[in-house]
Structure 1
C-alpha cells in the first residue's frame, strides 16, 4: 500500500520546513548581518556555515521527510532516525555555531549552571546512555509513542542528553572543559560500550517487543503522532504489515543492527579525526623537544669552546 494515502502533511511536514527555514535565516542574520553588534565576534567560517546547513537538512530528513512517517511503521527506520538525530546532528550543530555565540549562551546565568553539571564528561556519558536505554524499554517506548506530549518531552530531553554527550568532544569555547585527545578516544569507546546492552537486547530478543509495531490498534493510535487524526479516521488499516514485508522480529533485529553500524561509522570518523589531531600534537611536541635539545647542545658547545 502506498504511503501517499497518509497525505502531503504526514509525508513532508510543511510546518517543520517553515521552522527550519526560520532557524537558518536567523542563524545567518546573527552570524553575518548582526555580528558587529556583539562585543566579541569573528567572521563566519565557511566550514561553520556548511556544518549548520547540513545539520538543518538532516534534521528535516529524519523528522520531516517520509523517513519520519516510516519510522512509525518500521522499527528499522526508527533506529536509523535515532542514530542520525542523536549521534550526528548534535555534533554538526555544535560545530556549526561559532564559538562566540556559544560563549554567550553557556555564560548565561541559568544555562551556565546546567552546563556545569551536565556537560561534565562522566555525567554526560551516563545520562545519555541511561536516557537511550530507558527510552527503548518496551513499556516506556509504547507509552511514549501513544502520547504526543510525552513523546515530544522525552524526545527533547533525549536529544539534549545527546547534545551534552557530544559537547566535551568537540566544543572550542573558552572556559568550557576540553578533553585531551587521548581521553577523547576512551570517551568515544566508553559511549559505544554503554549503549551496546540496549542494542543487544533489541537485536537478540526472541520476539518483537514493541506493541506500537505489532498490535494493529496500538500502532494506529501511535500513527497519530505524525498523521492527522482526520486522515486516519478515513482509512481502513489493520497494521504496519500493510506497508512492510518483513516480520516484526526481523524488522526489530535489523533496526538494532543498523543502529550499531551507524554508531560505529560515526564514531570511527570521529576517532580518526581525534587520532589525527593527537598524532599532530605528538609530532609537534617531538619536534619542539628536538629543537630545544639541539639549542641546548649548541649553547653548551659554545660555552666549552670559550673556555
Structure 2
C-alpha cells in the first residue's frame, strides 16, 4: 500500500528508535512510581490521564519519526506534513502535560538552569519555534536539511526543543512557572496561528513544485539513502523514476494537499486549545463572581 510493500521491516519500523522510545516510556513509569516513592514520597502520583497523555505523545512522536509514516514522508509531501504536525503540534503538549509537575521541578532544579531563564520569555519562544519552522519550509533549506544527515537530525532536535518551549507557555506543566494569564494564552495561540500561515500559504498557493526531495530523482535518492539500505544509484535503479514511482497524486497536488493538511491540523489543534483555555477562564471568572463577598468587594 502506497509503496510501503517494497521496504523491509527494519526500514519501516526503525527498531533501534523504537527501543529508545520504549526505554523512555519505561523510564517514565519508573520515575513516577518507584523513584517518586523513594525520593518524593510527599508528591501526588501521576493520574491516569497524565499517563495516557504521555504514552500517546511518545507514540505519536515515534510514528512520525520512526514508524512507516517517517518513511512515507520521504515518498509523499503530504505524509511529510502529517509527520511534522504530529511531531511539533500534537506530541509536545501531550508529553508536557503527561509528566507530573514534581518531575519538571526536579529536572530544572539546578542553579545552572537560571542562566537560561531568559530563553523562556513567551515572545522569544513564540518567535523561535515559528521562525525555525517557517525557515525549514523554504525550498532550498528544506532540501539541504533532507539531504545532509547530521544537519537533518540536529534541526529536528532543535525544532522539538523549541516546540516544547513554545507549548510550555500554553500548556504549562508546573503552575508556578506559568507566565501568561488565560486571556494572554488565547492571544498567544492566535499569534502562533498567524505566524505559521505564511509558510502554509507558500506551499498551498505555489504554482510550481518547490521541493527537489519530492520531484528530483537525484535529490530524492540522497534523502532516501538515510532511511533505507543501498546507495542513491541503487535506489534509482530499484525504483525507476525515483519519487514519481510512488506518487498517487500529481506532485503539485501532493504539495498543495500537504500544505492544506498542515493548516487544518494547526487550526484543529489550536482551536481545541483555545476552547479549553476559554472554558477554564470562563469557569474561574464565574466561580470568583459567585464567591461570598465578591459583589461587595467590587464597590
Normalising TM by the smaller chain, what interval?
over 0.9
Q: Which runs of 4+ in 1 moved over 4 A?
A: 293-296
Q: Counterpart in 2 of 1:256?
A: 259
Once the two structures are TM-superposed, the CA of residue 106 in structure 1 deviates from its matched residue by 2.3
What TM-score results when the alignment is normalised by the length of structure 1?
0.90
Q: Counterpart in 1 of 2:169?
A: 168
Q: Counterpart in 2 of 1:300?
A: none
CA contact (8 A) 2:288 2:294 kept: no
Partners in 1 of 2:295 and 2:265 — Cα distance?
48
Extract unaligned runs of 5+ from structure 1.
Answer: 297-307
Partners in 1 of 2:178 and 2:115 — Cα distance?
14
Partners in 1 of 2:171 and 2:102 — Cα distance?
15
CA contact (8 A) 1:77 1:255 kept: yes
CA contact (8 A) 2:225 2:232 kept: no
Q: Counterpart in 2 of 1:299?
A: none
Q: Counterpart in 1 of 2:36?
A: 35
Q: Counterpart in 2 of 1:185?
A: 186
What TM-score results when the alignment is normalised by the length of structure 2?
0.93
Query: Are 2:264 and 1:266 aligned?
Result: no
RMSD: 1.9
Range with greater deviation from structure 2 (228-237 or 247-256): 228-237
Change (3 A) 1:185 1:294: closer
Matched positions, count = 293
Q: Counterpart in 1 of 2:90?
A: 88
CA contact (8 A) 2:78 2:261 kept: yes
Once the two structures are TM-superposed, the CA of residue 159 in structure 1 deviates from its matched residue by 1.1
Helix, strand or coil at the partner of 2:128: helix
Q: Counterpart in 1 of 2:99?
A: 97
Partners in 2 of 1:176 and 1:6 — Cα distance?
46
Once the two structures are TM-superposed, the CA of residue 64 in structure 1 deviates from its matched residue by 1.8
Tell me which of 64, 67, 85 is aligned to 1:65: 67
Q: Counterpart in 1 of 2:242?
A: 239
Q: Counterpart in 2 of 1:131?
A: 132
Extract unaligned runs of 5+ from structure 2.
Answer: none
